[in-house]
A and B are shown apart, each in its own frame.
Chain A
Amino acid sequence: MEYTLPDQFNEIQPLAEEWAFADEAARNHKRRASSMAEIQGFYDAMRPQMDSAMTYLNGFKLADTPEEAKTVLYLALMFMEVSTAVEMYQEVDVPESFPAERYNILSPSADHFMTAG
Chain B
Amino acid sequence: MNAPQQAYTLKHPELGTGPISTEPNISPEYFEREREQLFKKCWLNVAHLQEVPKPGDYVVWDLAVLNASVIIVHGQDGQIRAFHNACTHRGNKVAEGRGNSKGFACGFHGWTFNTEGNLAFVPDEGQFFDLDKQCLGLKAINCDVWHGAIFINMMDQPRETLAEWMSDYDDTLGQFPFQEMELMGCWSADVGVSWKVFVDAFQESYHVGFVHARSVPDGFVTQDNPYCHVPGFRLFDYHRATTCPANPKHSLWPSEAVAMKQGAMSLTAGGLTEEGYPGTNPQKIEDFGFDINVIFPNFFQDVSNGWFFSYNFWPTAHNRTLWQVKLFTLKPKTPADLVSAELTKVVLRDAIREDLNTMESTQQGLDSRAVDTVLFSDQELACRHQYAVVENFMNRD
Chain A positions near chain B (C-beta within 8 angstroms):
24, 47, 50-51, 53-55, 57-62, 65, 69-70, 72-73, 76-77, 79-81, 83-84, 87-89, 94-98, 100, 102-108, 110, 113-114
Check B339–A62 contact: CB distance below 8 A: no
Check A54–B189 contact: CB distance below 8 A: no
Q: Decide yes or no whether B395 CB sits under 8 A from chain A.
A: no
Could you mark each residue 239-258 of chain B with 1 if its beta carbon is under 8 Å from any beta carbon of chain A, else 0?
00000000000000111101
In the complex, what's the smallest C-beta–C-beta distance from A72 to chain B, in angstroms?
8
Check B342–A102 contact: CB distance below 8 A: no
Check B339–A57 contact: CB distance below 8 A: yes
Check A106–B188 contact: CB distance below 8 A: yes
What is the bound-complex CA distance between A54 and B262, given in angstroms? 8
* Residues of chain B contacted by A60 (CB below 8 angstroms): 334-335
The binding surface of chain B is classed by DSSP as: helix
- Residue of B with least CB distance to A88: B215
Check B343–A76 contact: CB distance below 8 A: no
Check B339–A89 contact: CB distance below 8 A: no
What is the bound-complex CA distance between A97 and B355, given in angstroms? 7
Decide: A98 near B259, CB < 8 A? Known: A57-B339, A84-B350. no
* Residues of chain B contacted by A96 (CB below 8 angstroms): 354, 357
In the complex, what's the smallest C-beta–C-beta distance from A109 to chain B, in angstroms?
10
- Residue of B with least CB distance to A83: B255
What is the bound-complex CA distance between A102 and B357, given in angstroms? 11
- Residue of A with least CB distance to B182: A113
What is the bound-complex CA distance between A103 and B186, given in angstroms? 11
What is the bound-complex CA distance between A50 and B354, given in angstroms? 28
* Residues of chain A contacted by B338 (CB below 8 angstroms): 62, 73, 77, 110, 113
Max chain B C-beta neighbours (<10 A), residue from A61, A65, A80, A105: A80
Chain B residues 224 to 273 lying within 8 A of chain A, measured CB to CB, are: 253-256, 258-259, 261-262
Decide: A80 near B214, CB < 8 A? Known: A58-B336, A62-B334. no
In the complex, what's the smallest C-beta–C-beta distance from A106 to chain B, in angstroms?
4
* Residues of chain A contacted by B191 (CB below 8 angstroms): 98
* Residues of chain B contacted by A61 (CB below 8 angstroms): 333-334
In the complex, what's the smallest C-beta–C-beta distance from B311 to chain A, in angstroms?
14
Could you mark each residue 294-320 of chain B with 1 if its beta carbon is under 8 Å from any beta carbon of chain A, else 0?
000000000000000000000000000
What is the bound-complex CA distance between A57 and B261, given in angstroms? 13
Q: Decide yes or no whether B55 CB sits under 8 A from chain A.
A: no
Decide: A106 near B187, CB < 8 A? Known: A50-B258, A76-B339, A79-B255. yes
- Residue of B with least CB distance to A50: B258
Could you mark each residue 184-199 of chain B with 1 if its beta carbon is under 8 Å from any beta carbon of chain A, else 0?
1111111100000000
What is the bound-complex CA distance between A99 and B335, given in angstroms? 31
* Residues of chain A contacted by B357 (CB below 8 angstroms): 96-98
In the complex, what's the smallest C-beta–C-beta distance from A26 to chain B, in angstroms?
13
Q: Decide yes or no whether B345 CB sits under 8 A from chain A.
A: yes
Check A80–B184 contact: CB distance below 8 A: no
Decide: A103 near B332, CB < 8 A? Known: A73-B339, A84-B350. no
Check A80–B354 contact: CB distance below 8 A: no
Check B334–A59 contact: CB distance below 8 A: yes
Max chain B C-beta neighbours (<10 A), residue from A96, A97, A102: A97
Q: Decide yes or no whether B394 CB sits under 8 A from chain A.
A: no
* Residues of chain A contacted by B259 (CB below 8 angstroms): 80
